[in-house]
Structure 1
């Protein structure tokens, strides 16, 4: 998927939908549920064996994915607001929960992601934060983006997990 195919068509996620994928240790898709296939407008053959970043939207800050990978490789779950692209150039926002899949000995054998519709009020608040992070990454790399989000969280006397979860639960 190339960025020149992007358009401004937002796909709506239903309130009841669970979008699920599994990946191997390198982030290649090994399973995609029917709702994921439907929302990205793809077939299994378009996705299985491909890197999950095939649906990454260029508006996403790189630091969000660094945080995600750092956490799941330590067997910690992580929640994140994610803007993804679709195969027809649209986009959609989700609130993602990503965890490590473990074997019976506790070894990581892959990763599992379940996504729900992102709260629209949360998306309104996260967009300018992500825009600032992307801007900082252009000149200062991921470290500048990390510094910004760390300072933002500290100034709000909160943690990353509390921040994103409270955003998702935002009312009206």
Structure 2
């Protein structure tokens, strides 16, 4: 049974003026120093996006602002990952995820996404700020088969079955979602530079709350 929360994240409409592109199996190579930033309202509608976000998407800024964030959603992405992301940020909790996005041309690019939840003086959520950096190639190679299996399960048996499989996959590795994703990033950082203040933090395996990017890259 689909809950109201699931309907909210899963049925957000694209801007009807922006046609859905046909996927093209050709990757866009992002600048390793790029930081793709977007700010959305609580419904996931884009209110602001920076130059790196605009350039990677292939859309014009005026096309993106006012559109649902799923304007860049790639059909290869499992719906369960977006469900986890939405549920977490609605609880004012952080989550890091690998996301395959689709540009206006139909080409794709991989990013690792982190969130900062914005609140007003009353503690009410006003906006979601998402920061993205290019994902390490080795991490993409590991996550791609998992995402493919999750998509296949969803197509045949729905998102509930996909979510159960993901939990079983993590349990078999004796880990949880956050630890698994953080390890994929920190074990495969390669040429991605860490801020000097964060290098010591990256050597630990202790789980901490708050922005992953702030801890490991010194940005928020």
TM-score interval (norm. to shorter): over 0.9
Match of 2:71 in 1: 54
Q: Residues of 2 paired with 1:132 and 1:33: CA distance?
A: 33
Query: How far apart are 1:2 and its partner, in Å?
Result: 2.0
Match of 1:35 in 2: 52
Query: How far apart are 1:138 and its partner, in Å?
Result: 1.1
Match of 2:20 in 1: 2
Q: Residues of 2 paired with 1:39 and 1:105: CA distance?
A: 35
Of 73, 86, 90, 1:69 maps to: 86
RMSD over aligned Cα atoms: 1.1
Query: How far apart are 1:105 and its partner, in Å?
Result: 1.9
Query: How far apart are 1:123 and its partner, in Å?
Result: 0.4
Q: Residues of 2 paired with 1:105 and 1:12: CA distance?
A: 42
Match of 2:9 in 1: none
Query: How far apart are 1:14 and its partner, in Å?
Result: 1.6
Higher Cα radius of gyration: 2
Match of 1:134 in 2: 151
Structure 2: gaps spanning 5 or more residues: 1-18, 191-220
Match of 2:13 in 1: none
Bigger RCO of structures 1 and 2 (CA < 8 A, at least 6 apart): 1
Point out 4+ residue stretches in structure 1 off by more than 6 angstroms.
none
Query: How far apart are 1:72 and its partner, in Å?
Result: 0.2
1:67-94 deviation line (CA, Å, top 9, x unaligned): 0000000000110000000011111000
Match of 2:95 in 1: 78
- 8 Å contact from structure 1 (residues 119, 169) kept in 2: no
Of 175, 178, 196, 1:161 maps to: 178
Of 118, 122, 144, 1:105 maps to: 122
Q: Residues of 2 paired with 1:8 and 1:140: CA distance?
A: 26
Q: Residues of 2 paired with 1:146 and 1:77: CA distance?
A: 19
Match of 2:10 in 1: none
Q: Residues of 2 paired with 1:84 and 1:98: CA distance?
A: 16
SS of 2:112's equivalent in the other structure is: strand
SS of 1:144's equivalent in the other structure is: helix
What is the aligned length?
171
Query: How far apart are 1:28 and its partner, in Å?
Result: 0.3
Q: Residues of 1 paired with 2:174 and 2:116: CA distance?
A: 26
Larger fraction in strand = 1
Query: How far apart are 1:104 and its partner, in Å?
Result: 1.9
